[in-house]
Amino acid sequence: MERASTGRWLRRAASLAICLAFWQVASRFKLDLGIVTFQNVPSPVDVARAGLDFLQSPRFATHVASSVKRVLAGFALAALVGIALGLVIGRSRRLRDFLQTPLEILRPIPAVAWIPLAVLMFPSSELSMIYITFTGALFPIVLNTVHGVEHVDPRLIASARSLGSTRAAMLFEVILPAAAPNIVTGLVIGMGTCWFCLVTAEMISGQFGIGYYTWESYTLQNYPEIIVGMILIGLLGLGSSLLLRAAGKAALPWHRQENSR
């Protein structure tokens, strides 16, 4: 058991090391593969150097803090609205008919297309940015909640009704907990897409945010800094998804038992 898990960690570390080694070699020797060329790609060593500089600069904390704040605000709103919409759509055919068409039309619109409207619709650029991260997280949360609500065992609902369940209790004591594992999945995916939309959102920003930092580095042609920004977003996204997954597991202890049964 112990050995198997060390083996797994070794394999994970090795795959990361191989990727880095390939990147270093490819950028060092300006590898040209025809379609892909590494001629202008900064090497991992350059990136590491830029990354260390950035970590030590006083701007680092401000950039990270403003991004985290935006993502959290957009995500929290999306969670509230998404779970509520998902419950309503999953439970009521009438409301589903009413809501589904506009949502299906809005869903494929990419975050970047929202920029002009977001700027026009909201009084501050901060709110526009939060709105764009919100659109990113909303749809995975809605869809997964609907899926969870629709797949509640009908006999569970029948039992609850025969036990005298009120309408409110049906929603909060039966439907919501039964759909909770799917809702958590939606939240984890939504958290990922929130970070996914961050660079797009922070194109609007005037001065702070990891996305803004990445975008600014591109306009200033600071190539290693672009990659530093990309990696930071990746790590922050990974970290927040892991936290959320752990929180979900802690909140649904019965779900683990069910699966291991």
Partner 1 sequence: MNAHSRDVGAAAGHIRADRVTIRLGAAGTFEAVSEASFEVRPGEFVCLLGPSGCGKSTLLGAMAGHIKPASGTFSVDGHPIDGPHPERGIVFQQHTLFPWKNVRDNVAFGLKMRGVKRGPRRLEADRMLELVGLAGSADRYPGQLSGGMQQRVEIARVLINQPKLLLMDEPFGALDALTRLRMQELLLDIWEQFRKTIVFVTHDIDEALLLADRIIVMQAQPGRIHEEIRVPFERPRSTDIITSGTFMQLKQHCLSLLHGDRRQDTLTRLSPLGAVRAAKA
Residues that bind partner 1 (CB under 8 A): 153, 155-156, 158-166, 169, 173-174, 177-178, 180, 252-255, 257-258, 261
φ, ψ dihedrals at 37, nearest 5°:
-125, 140
Cβ-based nearer residue to partner 1, 181 or 209: 181
Pick the closer one to partner 1 by CB: 11 or 161.
161
Pick 97 or 173: Cβ nearer partner 1: 173
Q: Could you give the CA distance from residue 134 to residue 76 in angstroms, rounded to a whole number?
A: 8
CB-wise, 44 or 181, nearer to partner 1?
A: 181
User: Dihedral of CA 106/112/117/121: which sign?
Assistant: positive
Q: Minimal distance in Å, beta carbon 173 to partner 1?
A: 7
CB of 91 to partner 1, least distance (A): 17
Instruction: Tell me how far, at minimum, the Cβ of 180 lies from partner 1, in Å.
Output: 7
- Is residue 252 classed as helix, strand or coil in its secondary structure? coil
Q: What is the DSSP letter of 39?
A: T
Q: How far is the CB of 137 from partner 1 (least distance, A)?
A: 25
CB of 179 to partner 1, least distance (A): 11
Of 187, 193, 83, nearest to 133 by C-alpha is 193
- Toward partner 1, which CB reaches closer, 97 or 153? 153
Counting every residue written for the chain, the total comes to 261
Query: CA distances (Å), 167 to each of 91, 160, 202, in order?
Result: 12, 10, 43
